[in-house]
Structure 1
């Protein structure tokens, strides 16, 4: 048999060296693994002892082991689960981020929901408004929900004081954006507006008394009724002045409370009566009935008997009003003069005397420069006849 050649030096994977040349194979350090035992700190090379009749060396993969004893190929394969894990984590993060963004910008996190007032009942599937709710309570509800709001106040004829007149938005469940300075705007009722009747409205000389309806409107009243059926003419109240009012001047009421006023018709229109030729008493009665003021004068009249109306101004038929003035002229009868006894007076003196009294003088007899022997009238004598001509007195001169 051919002797087995000496075994080549073995490579120690731990030290990275091989025994020096010349080393006796019999004494070389070898690792012979018991049957059925896997190598631990040696390389993958299996050593067959020289006692074997045939020397067989099985060369396997002699690549060095890593620090953990794993092969590089195995290390490559172990990265795949890590990559998958990272991808899964990234996807989950993206999904979570997208969900969070949606929740914050578009979802429930982006808005407030207008809550239902505690004093308002809402029907299912029906719009429910917060109008009419008590503001003080609902304000607390908004504060608890951290919903911003602004509110103003206004008078209302229909909504009780302190309750909500209007809101924007106003329906329960409406979304209010948190991202665009969203808020609810509320108008709260001050109740029915009040107004006060001017205290001087009944004084016709005051500014309010000269136009009572305008004064009430300026005070804020909106339900003013004018009762013309009860209006009367008045000597003391000018037309349009307050004759009566249903409420006490100076009182404060709801602006829409009904107020009834009666305005004076002022001075009644009348027609100047026909009183010329009537007696003074008859004329005065007619003028008093027409409530006209009368001024009376007297004068002599040769045609109108004493005590009767000679003339009146204005003329009969003229349109007047109560309190207008009328002038009357009443006859004193014909004018007279006392004619003295002129018998024995010279003709010239007698004529001069009679003419100075307003008489016309005629003389008779032959003695032009003689004395008056007779006269046609003595004592109280009319100066004129009914036609207005001077009375003639005849003197007889001797």
Structure 2
């Protein structure tokens, strides 16, 4: 019987990159034994089983990406080292001193103080201050006592003094317009009061508190006074008073007085005959009040009394409202008027006397 030696063909490589199948290589020896079998008494090892497709793909190494990440990390590290070195050379080895106090000093005074410490001054801004006068330093950076590098600079802010706002002139404006002006000036509108005013129309602002033009702090409350118009005035009775006195009384109440005159037999010349509106009427201040003053009795034309009997002359004068002043001689045989004063045709007030001479 002929013995045949058979050699197994080599296993084909497993091309799936997700797993590798290890296959034992066997060869037919002359005696028919495996060269690499397990030791006696041990079971045969199983080859690894490729994972199923349902378990997901295994991560695949990308050498090019790893190389790029490595280069980026090296660059970042280099920059960080360089930055630290620059900081250390510029600041880390620098010497520091305590910043001097310059608040409250003028700029020139502060420059001298800082110069004596080997420092310089930089004005960075200005600011209003209620506590620090204008042109003085109100703050510094670094603050007094804090570290500043030798030879460095201290930033300062100069005071502009207290911040003040002028109360705007809102006289004659409506309450709404006045409020807008006050708010626009950086102030706050306060209470609105009302008051009678003879010169400002009703509904218009007459004054403010604080007063117009006053310099005050921001957001200061400004009260306004709004006119109620002219104050009502009850008219006093001036009838029978002299015209001058009546005018003074009415004008003192803020009234506009107009005067007229007419003849009156009942009211003496120069006295008030009547007034309009009547006494007791309530009017607004500034209203017009009319008074009528007496010019005395109306004039009378003197009649011609010459050669009139005395009795008739006297009766004629009496009828006209005139008085007769009779001058007689010791003897008056004719008992007639031979002269008169004033002469006939003269205009004289009623109630006046006419002198007649009798012969």
Task: Provide the TM-score with structure 2 as the length reference.
Answer: 0.43
- Which has more strand, going by share of residues? 2
Task: Provide the TM-score with structure 1 as the length reference.
Answer: 0.39
Which structure would you say has the larger Rg? 1
